[in-house]
Structure 1
Amino acid sequence: MTTDQGFEDFVTATHDLFTAMRRNRGRLAGSAAGLSLSQLNLLDAVATDGPMLVGEVAAEAGVSGPSATRMLKQLEREGVVTRERSVDDERKVLVDLTEHGRELVHRQRRALRALQREHYASLSLEQRKVFVDVLQQMAVMIGEWNEV
């Protein structure tokens, strides 16, 4: 394989990875847990740290404020979260999980962790180490690509 072909394979593989991740972000909504990966990512910090401002939720999830607001409004209609104006500053909105939302997040986390464990177990010991190393390197690289 030539260096150029190796590079092209790298570009194709990263494109395929991004495409799979983007396509699957919303797919789990029809699963038993009922939350998509995007929704789980958005709610993860609230589930861990308790009520948070919308801006904080957006920052933790790595999404824009308007995107977080749109998703949270939908989740509020579905009874997953509550959104209340801050008593200190009415311009700010606090987000918290309902009991139903807390159960959905915990169920989704368990389902995702079980699937991850299954995939991890399918790798050899050497593959596990290499895979983790490559994923960590990719995370750094992708962060640098966003700076371009």
Structure 2
Amino acid sequence: MTTAPSGEQQSTDADVEATLVASRALLGVVARSIAEALDVVTLPQFRVLVVLRTAGPLRMGALAERMNINPSTFSRFVDRMVEGGWIQRKSRLESRREVLIDLTAHGAQLVDHVTHRRQRELATILSELDPAQRRAVRRGFEVFALAAGEPSATDLLILGI
């Protein structure tokens, strides 16, 4: 014999469903903001650009580690991105033997374009709300983010965020 869910369980189920719907809406914003970029780079390439835009120049091994990719296979991947004009290799001033991977202006511009596009779409969505609703959304996201904790870089990189 099964028992009917309690009022508390029904409320939790409704909370989870509402959060799932909101997460799909946000994923839609992410997908639309990155779609144009994926016409010129692959998602893994865009992930590299985002890491470099966030972290700054990195040694090849450190970048491969952040991408969770074997360094021996990562070198060819980097070669293709250099050839495409998205990133560059440069010697470190303090140690000429140490090579850093950095964004080119072209690579930085692509990441910035995606970021600005995402910001514009979020601003448009939020402009549909009155000030009290915007404050409620902001407060809800702040509370949710605190409860969820900071996602790992690996989790974020899956989507090129």
> Scaled by the length of structure 1, what TM-score is found?
0.61
- The amino acid of 2:86's aligned partner reads V
Conservation of the 8 A alpha-carbon contact between 1:80 and 1:101: yes
> Scaled by the length of structure 2, what TM-score is found?
0.57
User: Which runs of no fewer than 5 residues in structure 1 stay unpaired?
Assistant: none
- The amino acid of 2:8's aligned partner reads T
Identity over aligned residues, as a percent?
Answer: 23
1:118 and 2:124 aligned: yes
1:2 and 2:1 aligned: no
Among residues 52, 59, 68, which one is paired with 1:65 in the alignment?
Answer: 68
User: Which runs of no fewer than 5 residues in structure 2 stay unpaired?
Assistant: 1-5, 153-161
- What's the counterpart of residue 112 of structure 2? 106
- What's the counterpart of residue 35 of structure 2? 30
Structure number, greater radius of gyration: 2
Conservation of the 8 A alpha-carbon contact between 2:52 and 2:102: yes
1:42 Cα offset (Å): 5.5
C-alpha separation in 2, matches of 1:32 and 1:64: 19
Cα-to-partner distance string for 1:74-117 (whole Å, 9 max, x where unaligned):
75454222245767496x76231112112212322222221121
- What's the counterpart of residue 155 of structure 2? none
The higher relative CO (CA closer than 8 Å, separation ≥ 6) is in 2
1:66 Cα offset (Å): 2.5
C-alpha separation in 2, matches of 1:138 and 1:26: 21
C-alpha separation in 2, matches of 1:15 and 1:26: 16
Conservation of the 8 A alpha-carbon contact between 2:37 and 2:110: no
- What's the counterpart of residue 139 of structure 1? 145
